[in-house]
Amino acid sequence: MPEQSPLDLAEGDPFGPHNLPYGVFSTADEPGRRRLGVRIGGHVLDAGAAAHTLGSPYAALLAQPSLNPLLAAGRTAWRDVRRALTAWVTVPAHRADIEPLLHPLDSVTLHLPYEVADYVDFYASEHHATNVGKIFRPDGDALTPNWKHLPIGYHGRAGTVVVSGTDVVRPSGQRKTPADAAPVFGPSVKLDIEAEVGFLVGTPTELGTPMPLGDFREHVFGLSLLNDWSARDIQAWEYVPLGPFLGKSFATSVSAWVTPLEALDAARTAPPARDFDLLPYLDDSGEDEPGGFDVRITVAINGHVISEPPFATMYWTAAQQLAHMTVNGASLRTGDLFGSGTVSGPEVHMRGSLLELTWNGRDILELPEGKRTFLEDGDVVTMTAWAPGPDGTRVGLGEVTGRIVPSTG
């Protein structure tokens, strides 16, 4: 019996030809050579080698150590390359050329697939924002007066965006509880997660030129899972009056795989209903396609599922976030990354942070290896997700995982 081809995938494989996410990998025999790859099932296709072998006009673009050149090439190139890749892994006549260029996933090292230009993070889940408001302002309004008028965000640190699998060092900093007479310095004792979706910008814009809602697909290449690690005790002491700083900037983990927007056409969904009119630049009621994405996220600590946040519940869409981010004339750059903000749903088991799940440490989270309120050294956090695909398939998003290691400060 002939050996089964790596291209003969099991029915329902979430990383089939309908998906084809992009990443960057290296092999054991050439560890210093990074290559652009595309995931198909349990293998990685060397995209540059395939393009060269099959005479693609995009061969030079795909023979790069980073996604950035493809990102900058624009939407026409994105569509052409995706069509070609789909043919290469599905047309039987290409198998003899493609199969030798496939590498088992467990035999390669995955790297951060793009060079991050700027990093912005938002606060777009009404459920999350309401929970946080109730925790910290129990006697006041849960939402701030501006929350339903604009997507609130902050500028993060691009240099500490790391690929899935990178250890996260417990950050140190100042913290002060109401009972403390003065601030103290030391490792964070309220280290948290934030389950998010990150969006990757390809085509840049000129300084001074806002990006309208309808241009979202022209500038955003794809999305991936993102974990915005948060030191809640450091954040609580530092954030007034300018917002997050050291409590966020120590690490942000992203998936090694970027799923192109075209793979998620079947997952587009309408955002939650709004109870008042938005300003024109944020009003998406007349757009041709719904702005939300039906992405189902699962969060696990040490292999134990603690939450299943639904991205479809997000109040502000990625298109609205990008429109707001540029409405003042701020330019986009190739490799810009913006996070959705913590994804939380209406039920307790849908909350995307330990801050909410434990109500800032009041409630105990029971895990097989012991009780938790926030993360302990040695804990491994893993986020996975899928979205509806064409013809009843599922589109898998690459996982994001990170292990907490002790502070060095």
Instruction: Write the CB contacts of 190 (distance below 8 Å, at least 6 apart in sequence).
Output: 231, 232, 233, 355, 361, 373, 374
Question: Is there a contact between 376 and 404 (Cβ–Cβ < 8 Å)?
Answer: yes
d(CA 314, CA 292): 7
Collapsed DSSP state (helix, strand, coil) of residue 343: coil
Cβ density class 35-67: b for 16+ within 10 Å, e for less: bbbbbbbebbbbbbbbbebeebebbebbbbbbb
Beta strands 102-104 and 43-46 are antiparallel
Query: Could you tell me the sign of the dihedral formed by the alpha carbons of 356, 362, 366, 372, in that order?
Result: positive
Q: What is the DSSP letter of 32?
A: E
Question: Is there a contact between 379 and 368 (Cβ–Cβ < 8 Å)?
Answer: no
Query: Could you tell me the sign of the dihedral formed by the alpha carbons of 388, 391, 394, 395, in that order?
Result: negative
Phi (first) and psi of residue 347, to 5 degrees = -105, 160
d(CA 369, CA 72): 46
Name the residue with tokens 């030191």: 231
Question: Is there a contact between 359 and 132 (Cβ–Cβ < 8 Å)?
Answer: no
Quote the tokens at residue 256.
């090694």
Question: Is there a contact between 66 and 116 (Cβ–Cβ < 8 Å)?
Answer: no
Question: Is there a contact between 78 and 70 (Cβ–Cβ < 8 Å)?
Answer: yes
Size of the chain, expressed as the number of residues it contains: 409
Q: What is the DSSP letter of 144?
A: -
CB atoms within 10 A of CB 94: 16
- Residue ranges of E strands in 21-100: 22-27, 30-40, 43-46
Is 324 assigned a catalytic role? no
Q: Which of 19, 7, 125 is nearest to 386 (CA)?
A: 19
Phi (first) and psi of residue 296, to 5 degrees = -105, 115
The DSSP annotation for 303-330 comes to TEEEE--BGGG-SS-HHHHHHHHHTTSP
Of the residues 18, 128, 219, 324, only one is catalytic, namely 128
Active site residues: 128
